[in-house]
Structure 1
Amino acid sequence: MKIYDYKGRKNICGDRVREARQKNRFTQEALAAKLQIEGVTMERDSLSRIEIGTRFVTDYELKVIAKVLGVSHLWLIDDENE
């Protein structure tokens, strides 16, 4: 299986996930718990890896992350550095 990177990262939403999480004053553990309540099994270390760009994010995870953080999924994937 080929592992794909984009500019050395496995996702483009990690920085925005961290930004929105911090604005909501959620710890990584708290966000992981809220995602689990919404049906997405995710541990704190998985969120850490998303935020630093070393873990892929599935479309359904992105949708639920956006919902829990109160942001648009499009905002999460907007790469303003382009």
Structure 2
Amino acid sequence: MSRIIDGEQLNLIGEKVKQARKKLKFSQKQLADRLETEAVYICRGSISRIESGERTVTDIEIAGLSKVLLVPINELFPADAGFQK
């Protein structure tokens, strides 16, 4: 069985997370702090690794990122991932 994610890229949402964070003018630390208020614990360093594709992301983390970044979950994924409406 083939893996959905192979090679060096460990997530599909990193670039969109970075774009949404910058649109809201949040630093990575501010995003980490806001996630903590939603009981989603991702440190600043892990946010950096998510954005660069070096870290996987759980479904709970994706839900928290979506809520804090004010972006529907499907919009965190690239258009070619097949999750867009």
| TM-score range for the pair, normalised by the shorter chain length | 0.7 to 0.9
Moved runs in structure 1, 4+ residues, more than 6 A?
Answer: none
Q: Check conservation: 1:12, 1:79, Cα contact below 8 A.
A: no
Query: Which stretches in structure 2 are left out of the alignment for 5+ residues?
Result: none
1:26 aligns with 2:48: no
Query: Which stretches in structure 1 are left out of the alignment for 5+ residues?
Result: none
TM-score normalised to the size of structure 2?
0.84
Equivalent residues, number: 80
User: How far did 1:81 drift?
Assistant: 8.3
Percent identity, aligned pairs only? 38
| 1:73 alignment partner in structure 2 | 73
**RMSD of aligned C-alpha atoms?**
2.1
Aligned counterparts of 2:80 and 2:30: Cα–Cα separation in 1? 27
